[in-house]
Amino acid sequence: MGYALFLGCVAPNRYPGVESATREILKELGVEFAELEGASCCPAPGVTRSFDQNTWLTIAARNLALAEKGGNDILVICNGCYGSLFEAAHLLHDDKKREEINKNLAEIGMKYGGKTNVKHFVDVLMNEVGVEKIAEKVKNKQDKLKIAVHYGCHFLKPHKLKGIEDPERPTILDKLVEAVGAESVDYMDKNLCCGAGGGVRARVPELAMGMTKQKLENIKAAGANTIVNPCPFCHLQYDRGQKDLGEEYSIPVLHLSQLYGLALGVDEKKLGFDMHATPVNLPS
């Protein structure tokens, strides 16, 4: 059994380099994956679920059923997709709820049996590939980078269900960036939201940008020269946010897959840096 790669919406539509980099590094690291043909939006729980939980759950169940049909668990590259699909899979362990949702799926000739697990690619890199193997694969050591890692809101929580790591004292991303030779820089409010999630960026942009500005100020004050995240939507908020704020932070923003692409020797043309709003001018 391998993984069904779930790309979500933001990466393929806004940052195709994140999608391309993910495919390349998974191949380099020996993680088996297949395309999840016909997948839709996860869908984002902060929007869809707010209006109707069963609609959200039916759409999510359809994605889970597609992976189940192929005999694969789902591998996600986005915190929001992870939060949505993981929670849906958890709720659908309940036989009565799954039966209810399957009545909806039956209208399109589908059924979900409750067997699909959902994994975040960061969890897979750390706990299935391992930092030792990653370090062995490094071709271009990233020792010029002083990285501010951003964990995001939906990766580690709820801890009692996901069990990856303590969300109040996380280290997994720090260890993964250090595995390729970079320095992980501690900074104030490290675990604070980027500002984008839950529809805040769309509904209350001034609040979202205020949160982003606070994070950027703290990152700058700590002396970091790069931001690394595990989520395309957080990625968008930091990358586009610097331009939207109109202030000269000029801190390059990399999804973890792009950082690993650099370290593992992936052709930079496949990393999509030309699609970033904030130029990716990394120290050499």
Q: How big is the CA angle at 174 (ends 169 and 179), to the nearest 5 degrees?
A: 145
pTM for the predicted model, two decimal places = 0.95
Contact 103, 124 (CB under 8 A): no
* Integer angstrom CA distances of residue 152 from 69, 104, 187, 191, 217: 31, 32, 15, 7, 17
Q: Tell me: the pLDDT tens digits for 71-94?
A: 999 999 999 999 999 999 999 999
CATH number assigned to the domain covering 3-120: 1.20.1050.140
Question: 134-275 is classed in which CATH architecture?
Answer: 3-Layer(aba) Sandwich (3.40)
Q: Tell me: the pLDDT tens digits for 136-177?
A: 999 999 999 999 999 999 999 999 999 999 999 999 999 999
Enumerate the CATH 1.20.1050.140 domain ranges in the chain, comma separated.
3-120
Q: Which long-range contacts (CB under 8 A, 24 or more apart) does 100-103 make?
A: 100/54, 101/54, 101/57, 101/58, 101/61, 102/61
Contact 15, 87 (CB under 8 A): no
For the CA atoms of 249, 154, 204, 49, the dihedral, rounded to the nearest 10 degrees, stands at 160
Model confidence band, residue 49 (pLDDT cutoffs 50, 70, 90): confident
Enumerate the CATH 3.40.50.11810 domain ranges in the chain, comma separated.
134-275
